[in-house]
């Protein structure tokens, strides 16, 4: 039997439908204004240079005993955790009684060319943690690190554990040398010193280009062909455009921090191999003895599950929990399943440890 049985009439029908969608898009794409993001109101409670810490305001007062500080990656904007009303990790955590704060790292420019990992982790992050603890009137807080922010949070917990009650990592790379890690594979032949000495800060467009080339046809062609299906639906189109805006709203990367992150994490894999030093401090995951919840996505193409899963073998804590989410690197915040599963999992895990 032939593998393809495309009925000409059906093929014509498909083509006509696509044409109708294109025609409809002339109206819908014009109706859609510049999409906005952020579902939850917030107030700035601390700022330093380009870094701002926000506290989100829920409908009710938080019932949790310790606040959560979300530490996002440097490579994208943090509003992914509060993208829109029906896709918001923050909103769902607030509804469960959590007190949620977030670090916005801002957009580095030439003035930040020499900012190091020491500045980010032992400087900005430490002072953000102190600011949140002070604002909430507690001695210790819960830290929730996402992606690269998760790696930062691990380093922070390994060196400043006295400031933390619990640590949560989401889609966080730990073992950078697993065979399916394409990004890591590519960076290992790079002369990162030459790269940063030449570019200074690393342009966001270059970072985006690199991410798109991880799956060039799927991310650069198939996705937009699928967009044909929603061209006549304003609400879905707005969701699509909002996501597009987030994907390409990327900050440049501070040169020195980028150099160190590539050299020590991607190339050296020092987080698990050992020998990692940040600001003269030894960073050993064995020093982390507070409870750890590690959440990763099973279909993550940026941080493969194999890169996150080994965390349990390397941290010193006896209270380690792991949660595999059925979805991808972005779906873990914005999919319908994520809204149902992730916030309750975090809330439940924290509740058991802060009674």
Point out the residues that are catalytic.
147
Supply angle C-alpha 331, 243, 175, rounded to 5: 45
* Least separation in angstroms between CB 127 and another protein: 9
According to CB under 8 A, which residues from 159 to 188 bind another protein?
A: 179-180, 182, 185-186, 188
**Cβ(32)–Cβ(237) below 8 Å:** yes
* Least separation in angstroms between CB 324 and another protein: 21
**Cβ(244)–Cβ(35) below 8 Å:** no
Q: Residue 139: helix, strand or coil by DSSP?
A: coil
* Least separation in angstroms between CB 195 and another protein: 6
Q: How many CB atoms lie within 10 A of CB 100?
A: 27
Does position 111 interact with another protein (CB under 8 A)? The reply is yes
Which residues are 325's β-sheet partners?
297
Does position 197 interact with another protein (CB under 8 A)? The reply is yes
Which residues are 192's β-sheet partners?
none
Does position 115 interact with another protein (CB under 8 A)? The reply is yes
**Cβ(96)–Cβ(343) below 8 Å:** yes
Cβ-based nearer residue to another protein, 88 or 184: 184
What's the token pair of residue 201? 């800060």
* One character per residue 235-274, x = contact with another protein (rule: CB under 8 A): ------x--x---x--------------------------
* Least separation in angstroms between CB 291 and another protein: 29
State which of residues 205, 282, 313, 352 lies at the interface with another protein (CB under 8 A): 205
**Cβ(80)–Cβ(333) below 8 Å:** yes
According to CB under 8 A, which residues from 213 to 232 bind another protein?
A: 213, 215-218, 220-225, 227-228
According to CB under 8 A, which residues from 21 to 50 bind another protein?
A: 22-23, 26, 29-34
Q: Which stretch binds another protein (CB under 8 A): 97-105, 109-117, 153-161, 290-298?
A: 109-117
Cβ-based nearer residue to another protein, 65 or 177: 177
**Residue 339 CA: distances (Å) to CA of 56, 100, 136, 261:** 17, 16, 26, 31
Does position 194 interact with another protein (CB under 8 A)? The reply is yes
State which of residues 39, 199, 323, 351 lies at the interface with another protein (CB under 8 A): 199
**Cβ(93)–Cβ(63) below 8 Å:** no
Cβ-based nearer residue to another protein, 41 or 198: 198
Q: Which element (helix H / strand E) includes 23?
A: helix 8-31
Does position 134 interact with another protein (CB under 8 A)? The reply is no
Does position 18 interact with another protein (CB under 8 A)? The reply is yes
Does position 321 interact with another protein (CB under 8 A)? The reply is no
CA dihedral over 92, 97, 103, 106, signed as positive or negative: positive
Q: Which stretch binds another protein (CB under 8 A): 133-141, 153-161, 203-211, 317-325?
A: 203-211
Judged by phi (left if over 0) then psi (alpha if -120 to 50, else beta), residue 275 lies in left
Determine how β-strand 277-278 pairs with β-strand 100-104.
unpaired
């Amino acid at each position: 039997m032939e593998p393809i049985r495309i009925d000409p009439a059906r093929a014509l029908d498909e083509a006509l439908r696509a044409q109708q969608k294109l025609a409809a898009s002339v109206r819908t794409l014009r109706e859609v204004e510049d999409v906005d993001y952020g579902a939850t109101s917030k107030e700035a409670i601390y700022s330093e240079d380009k870094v701002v810490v926000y506290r989100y305001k829920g409908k009710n007062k938080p019932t949790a005993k310790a606040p959560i500080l979300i530490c996002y990656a440097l490579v994208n904007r943090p509003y992914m955790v509060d993208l829109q009303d029906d896709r918001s990790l923050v909103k769902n955590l607030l509804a469960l009684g959590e007190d949620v704060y977030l670090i916005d790292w801002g957009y580095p420019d030439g003035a930040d060319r020499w900012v190091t990992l020491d500045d980010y982790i032992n400087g900005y992050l430490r002072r953000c943690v102190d600011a949140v603890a002070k604002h909430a009137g507690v001695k210790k807080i819960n830290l929730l690190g996402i992606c690269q922010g998760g790696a930062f949070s691990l380093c922070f917990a390994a060196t400043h554990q006295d400031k933390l009650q619990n640590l949560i990592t989401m889609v966080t790379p730990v073992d950078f040398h697993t065979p399916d890690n394409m990004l890591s594979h590519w960076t290992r032949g790079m002369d990162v010193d030459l790269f940063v000495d030449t570019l200074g800060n690393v342009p966001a467009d270059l970072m985006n280009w690199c991410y798109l080339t991880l799956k060039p046809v799927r991310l650069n062609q198939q996705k937009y062909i699928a967009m044909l299906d929603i061209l006549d639906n304003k609400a879905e189109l707005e969701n699509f455009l909002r996501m597009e805006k987030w994907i390409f709203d990327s900050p440049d990367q501070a040169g020195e921090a980028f150099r160190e992150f590539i050299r020590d994490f991607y190339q050296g894999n020092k987080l698990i191999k050992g020998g990692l030093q940040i600001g003269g401090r030894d960073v050993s995951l064995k020093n982390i003895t507070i409870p750890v919840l590690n959440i990763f996505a099973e279909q993550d193409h940026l941080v493969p599950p194999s890169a996150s899963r080994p965390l349990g073998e390397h941290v010193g804590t006896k209270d380690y929990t792991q949660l595999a989410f059925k979805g991808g690197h972005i779906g873990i915040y914005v999919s319908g399943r994520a809204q149902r599963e992730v916030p309750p999992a975090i809330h439940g895990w924290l509740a058991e440890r802060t009674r």
